[in-house]
Amino acid sequence: MAKRSTAGLVKYVKFLMEAGVMERPLWLDALERVAPPTLTKAGRRPQSIRFPEDEIVRAYYKRNPGASLEPIYLGSFEPSTARRFATRQLELMDQGISRKDARLQTQSEFKAEAAASNEKGVIATIQAEEEIHLDQAIKTYVERHGHKPLQQMNTRENYGSHAGGNKSDTTTTHFRPTEWVSKTLELPGYPRGCHVIHRQLLQNLPEIAEFEVGFAQFFIQHTSASLTISENASSDVPLDLADALDKLAPDGMHYRHSDEGPDDMPAHIKSCLMGPSLMLPIAQGRLALGIWQGIYLNEHRNYGGPRKIVVTIQGQKRADGRKYSQYQ
């Protein structure tokens, strides 16, 4: 089972709480709580504590009567393994050890404890306890409401095999559905030759910035023009490319198909050689091209006229619903 991130756990928990299949856990209170004000006098603990985990805090003070640190932030976590880890870290901090060193020492102690008992480490234990609790809540939700609301929940985390079907160790099932965008762009007529149209395409495809990962397919609906990828920096490259294509398929009336002029059949040949489509990856709102790569429209006729390109985008959008900057 894939581990979920903290942000993913929070999203799942809130979603399931709203559905009434999961109660608000104490760790969420601790995570979202605003820290209490600083004590007015050094060494004095708070006069009153008004949080759900009062008993945990009282027990901490009973074990550590000379404690001066506020234990709410560290001492109020579920499951129990995480709470025990946090309170041990707090005890060390009350002894004057820094937060970082206290955490490292606690980790070392728990690792040694796990090694001695042949049990998995504390982090794995906490994660496993959270996963079991959350998976059970997800299963309950699916039994009541079905899979669709969960699939529509725009998040990057996995919800496991409860979404239906068998889930192997190497298969990942996502809440976020695959989304599609399809549009047809009409470009003005270009003179014969090879032209970098990368910028023109992106200006007409703001939807790409919404996708975290996916693919964009570009398909030109003509038999005398083509698409390709080549260098986008030097102005000599498109000229040399056009010259090379002319040598491969020179104009002339020696072709069997010559009804539409000496440049028509050569245009068909060049189109077949270069291809009518491109499939490009999308990563974090951008086409994942190399720094020197650009999209070319190759116009193989003397007077080709406007050209139509069908663009199909498939992928998963950002979990937060926002767009990536196009200038990142």
Q: Which pLDDT belongs to residue 96?
A: 83
Q: Is the pLDDT assigned to residue 53 strictly greater than 60? A: no
For residue range 244-259, list pLDDT tens digits in order: 999 999 999 999 998 8
- CB-CB contact of 229 with 308 (8 Å): no
Better pLDDT: 187 or 234: 187
What integer is the mean pLDDT of 288-306?
93
Q: Which pLDDT band holds residue 326 (cuts at 50, 70, 90)?
A: low
Q: Is the pLDDT assigned to residue 274 strictly greater than 90? A: yes
The rounded mean pLDDT for the chain is 75
Q: Which pLDDT band holds residue 114 (cuts at 50, 70, 90)?
A: low
Provide the phi-psi class of 20: left if phi over 0, else alpha when psi is between -120 and 50, else beta.
Answer: left
Better pLDDT: 72 or 308: 308
Q: Is the pLDDT assigned to residue 206 strictly greater than 80? A: yes
What integer is the mean pLDDT of 34-58?
47
Better pLDDT: 171 or 67: 67
Better pLDDT: 66 or 323: 323
Q: Which pLDDT belongs to residue 211?
A: 92
Domains and CATH numbers, the chain: 6-163 (no CATH), 179-317 (2.60.120.460)
What integer is the mean pLDDT of 20-49?
52
